[in-house]
Structure 1
Amino acid sequence: MFFLLSFCLCGLLMRGEAQDRATLWRGNDRGGRCHYTFTVPSPVESSCPQIGGPEVEGLKARLNLLEVLVSQLSGGDSRLPGVQQGSGARAQSELQEALNRAVGERNLLQSEKERLERELNGLQLRMEEMRRETERLRNKPCPQQTPMVPPSPTLQDRVSKRPGSGLNPMSHLMTRPSRQGDSSNLRDSAWQYGAPGFQELKAAVTEVPAPGGNEDNTGCGELLSVGEPVTHRKADNIAGKYGIWMQDPEAVSPYGPSMLWRIDAIGAEVRQMFGYEDLEQLSKGFPSKVLLLPELLESTGATLYRGSLYYQRRNSRTLIRYDLASESIAARRELPHAGFHGQFPYSWGGYTDIDLSVDENGLWAVYSTNKAKGAIVISQLDPESLGVKKSWETNIRKNSVANSFIICGKLYTVASYTSRETTINYMYDTETSQGKNLAIPFKNKYGYNSMIDYSLAQRKLFGWDNFHIVSYNVRLGRQQAN
């Protein structure tokens, strides 16, 4: 190739000297290839017409281009004409930008990969911790049963009258140690007395009789005092602003007596029920069982009793008994004439029209009807069929109190759900069908108490106060002899 270009170059350079003897012609053939032709004078003609000016200039331009190409091939000057040199610079700049973008994207992908690897390592560590915790719980020996103080004869007789029952296997849960601050099965720290001063505008304040010599913590008499709230856990998200937590006083296999249950009551579909082996696991947030209720639940009025969850079906007066062992509905029945879905709630709202609870006497429903004109109605229910056995109508309006609970057949109402220092301001005794005003101090530690229920299993009050699961020790007087 180089020899051919040199030969052409030499021929062009010699053209001036041989113009009188020879002429160079160029042209394209039919295939588009360039042909150069040399002619020499014939014997007839002494010379040929000379090439015009434009052709000479074009030939010089091509000659310059050939010189540049020859220089590049021989390793000499690599400069191209201005237009080609500018195009190469732009192409090089674009290639550099593309390279920079590719490097940047590669660095981002590398960073994302490292972050995901760190998260994966964290999840693996978490899973390993949970696996070790599970193994520890499986290998943990069952706690030894310690002797308990036998219940009082009156309480034992009352509980043992249940049809088909002999000695109540849960009777040890009916007792209370005589000293204040007992931690009981929940292992709560001893509650401390706070400031005695309180103010509640809704409360009808009356004097509480001073404790006499015949009062202690083991009876089933009137409520004397409520301890400071003890916090066990704070909910993780907005669904736990208010909810329910419960313990079955007469647990049925496969769940043991220490099993605790929790339901978050905020959401379009309240159906999940979380079970925990004990209070320690509840405090850590490690459920061992999750049940999905077949019917949506309404508000915070549910309760547990004899292996079943009792609750109000959403937007209706229908009560449901859900069997935990079979995970199915065992019974359903409408509560006659009961208001529902905001007709007669507690003062805090939340569709708390029907409030179910369990005490030493069995299963109860607290609600109101149009006939009662909003006053609290108390009904004792059959735990199997959910039928009403007997009802009492009080003279206190349901929407004028924040909440209520039943202990030993006596209904107690709480004056406020937001006041940090409020009172238990009213008591109605179903045994005598009489009510009276009280002024027992009660604390809403976190300022929004949406659930207060008596736990027969612990003989404590369970509460749900503004995302917080709390409990209260209670002190009862001895039941008076008839």
Structure 2
Amino acid sequence: MKLFVPLIVPLWALYSLAQQAAPSKSCKCELNPTEEAFPHDKLQIAEGNATDCNTHITPQKALELESLLLGLEKRLTQLHSDLSVLEEEDDGELYGVLSLFVIENEMLEIRQLMDKLNSTTEEHQVLTADTVQQLEELKIEMIKLEKFDTMEVVKGRQVNRHLKSALETCRIGVKATVAPTQPPYGTCQRGPLRNITGPGVNTQGEFPGNYAYGAWGRDPKPEMRKENWYWMVPLTSSQYANYIRFYSSLSALIIGVSTPGNIQISPSNPTTNTIQGPNNVLYGSALYYNCYNRDAVCRFNLTSKSVTSVQLPKGTRYNSKSNFCHLEDCYAYTDLDLATDESGVWVVYTTTEALGNLVLTKVDETEPPTLGKTWHTSVYKRSVTNTFMACGVLYATRYIDANVEEVFYSFDTTTGMENFKVSIFMNKVSPNIFSLNYNPVDQMLYAYSNAKMVSYKALFGYSDRYVS
């Protein structure tokens, strides 16, 4: 019995203690956190400020400023050139007075451009100052918020970014390649079309109001001592012509003094070799145009006074069956559009096989002319008001209203890439532009608009910088 006494006493004691410490019906705990609550309202304010910065500071604002600066540079260069011409002129003060009028208009346009540039610069300065202040405030607020990152998630992400950057640098070092300085675009180094300024020249010449339809410009590949010549093809109301008219300078064209006058292509209108439609161009002392009543391109050699032609593909639409159009009007006999650029002559048209979409073909400078490579696009010809070529890229325009035309489309013959969002706007002096062509020598666009001859400056460049 003595062996079991020490065990009985502890069991009885434990039972008594259990009876005395009976559990209560509820348990309450009081939590006193040592860290302050996360300020969600401050985070929302910081996110809103960051969104405002992204909204107000955009690449388009910087692009607008660069475009204005480039436009001013081009205008000053042109003004210097015109002043040099004025100093050399000695023709009884006739052209001198006219040149002063042209220079006065150019100086007015430069003043307007400078006013717009000053206004834009002031806006940029205010925007920059406000943005810097917001960024400083945002930085201070974010530093305060980082102390709530107790698990160091933000710090870990920053470390990961540094590691990725180091890894990418290592890869570039292992596989070193020379990156292109600019993306490929067209056949020129200057890049795509970025803006169109003007109008510059705006004149009715020697036949004010008499010829609503026609074309004009300069030869991109002129004969020696004819580099400053201008040409014009005025069309009758039925949109035919049988001659081309020349002017020895821009001043001569504006005042209406033609030298050597008309060069006849055919004896009457309309007949064989007659020009049909306004979309004709001069290149290499030869006029390219739509042959009368034919789906063919004619070439009039100014030296030999002879006409040769090349037949376009079967099914080509002609005789005003597939014109350039907008909602209010179609331009008669614009089935074929001849164009020039740095590489030569092109023809834009459509065929039944292409279902009315624009077709582009290179015209080779041979005697007779021949057709080169052809490209097909996906833009409907009747939705277009005009086309022109620049650096191997086809550009198409459309009618916005009586005062504005838009270059909305481009097709790169080098890559085959199409762009329906070019979004370059031209200010018009008359509602309709019946012919529009680019000259690669002076990088000007020459438009014939309701009996008026108008010129525009084409500006090119990549998004990060402009190349003239």
- TM-score with structure 2 length normalisation? 0.56
Give the structure 1 partner of residue 447 of structure 2: 463
Matches within 5 A, 1:127-146: none
Structure 1 residue corresponding to 2:192, chosen from 222, 239, 253: 222
Please tell me the residue identity of whatever aligns with 1:293.
I
Residue pairs, 1:186-205, within 5 angstroms: 189=106, 191=109, 192=112
Q: Structure 2 matches for 1:206-285, cutoff 5 A?
A: 219-235=189-205, 236-252=207-223, 256-268=226-238, 269-285=240-256
Q: For residues 32-111 of structure 1, what are the structure 2 equivalents within 5 Å? A: none
Distance apart, 1:219 and its partner CA: 4.3
> Quick check: 1:390 aligned with 2:285?
no
Match of 1:29 in 2: none
CA contact (8 A) 2:213 2:237 kept: no
Instruction: Find 2:384's aligned residue among 392, 401, 419.
Output: 401
After TM superposition, the structure 1 = structure 2 runs for residues 322-341 of structure 1, keeping only pairs within 5 Å, are 322-329=300-307, 331-337=308-314, 338-341=316-319
Of 411, 415, 422, 2:405 maps to 422
> What is the identity, as a one-letter code, of the residue corresponding to 2:425?
P
Listed one character per residue, the Cα deviations across residues 108-153 of structure 1 (whole Å, up to 9, x for unaligned) are xxxxxxxxxxxxxxxxxxxxxxxxxxxxxxxxxxxxxxxxxxxxxx
Residues of 1 paired with 2:280 and 2:215: CA distance?
Answer: 7
Instruction: Report the identity percentage.
Output: 23
Alignment of 1:299-314 (within 5 A): 299-314=277-292
From 358, 361, 376, the counterpart of 1:379 = 361
Root mean square deviation of aligned Cα: 3.0
SS of 2:276 mapped into structure 1: coil
Provide the rounded CA distance (Å) in 2 between the counterparts of 1:340 and 1:418. Answer: 27
Shift of 1:448: 1.8
Q: Deviations over 1:196-220 (max 9, x none)?
A: 9xxxxxxxxxxxxxxxx979xx943
Paired residue for 2:437? Answer: 453
1: distance between equivalents of 2:236 and 2:457?
Answer: 27
Asked if 2 retains the 8 angstrom alpha-carbon contact of 1:453 and 1:463, the reply is: yes
**Which entry has the higher C-alpha Rg, 1 or 2?**
1
Is the CA contact 1:405–1:413 (under 8 Å) kept in the aligned structure 2? yes
Q: Determine which of 249, 255, 258 is the counterpart of 1:287.
A: 258
Asked whether the 8 Å contact 1:417–1:449 carries over to 2, the reply is no
1:195 to partner: Cα distance: 9.2
Out of 430, 442, 455, which is 2:426 matched to? 442
Q: Distance in 1 between matches of 2:331 and 2:215?
A: 15
Gaps of 5+ in 1: 1-175, 197-212
Shift of 1:257: 1.1
Asked if the contact 1:402–1:417 (Cα under 8 Å) also holds between the matched residues in 2, the reply is no
Moved over 3 A (4+): 184-188, 190-196
State whether residues 244 and 264 of structure 1, in contact with CA within 8 Å, keep that contact through their aligned partners in structure 2. Answer: yes
**Gap runs ≥5 in structure 2:** 1-69, 83-101, 118-180, 267-272
Q: 1: CA distance between counterparts of 2:190 and 2:333?
A: 31
- The one-letter code sitting in structure 2 at the alignment partner of 1:292 is Q
Q: Is the 8 A contact 1:355 1:365 kept in 2?
A: yes
Residues 288 and 297 in structure 2, CA contact (< 8 A), matched pair in contact too: yes
3-state DSSP class of the match of 1:378?
Answer: strand
- Kindly state the Cα deviation for residue 308 of structure 1 after the two structures are TM-superposed: 0.7
Q: Using structure 1 for the length normalisation, give the TM-score.
A: 0.55
More helix by share: 2
Q: Counterpart of 1:281 in structure 2: which amino acid? A: A
Report the Cα offset of residue 228 of structure 1: 1.8
SS in 1 for 2:226: coil
1:479–1:455 CA distance, 2 compared to 1 (3 A): farther
Match of 1:183 in 2: 78
Q: Which residue of 2 aligns with 1:316?
A: 294
Amino acid at match of 1:223: L
Aligned length: 286
Letter in 2 for 1:221: G
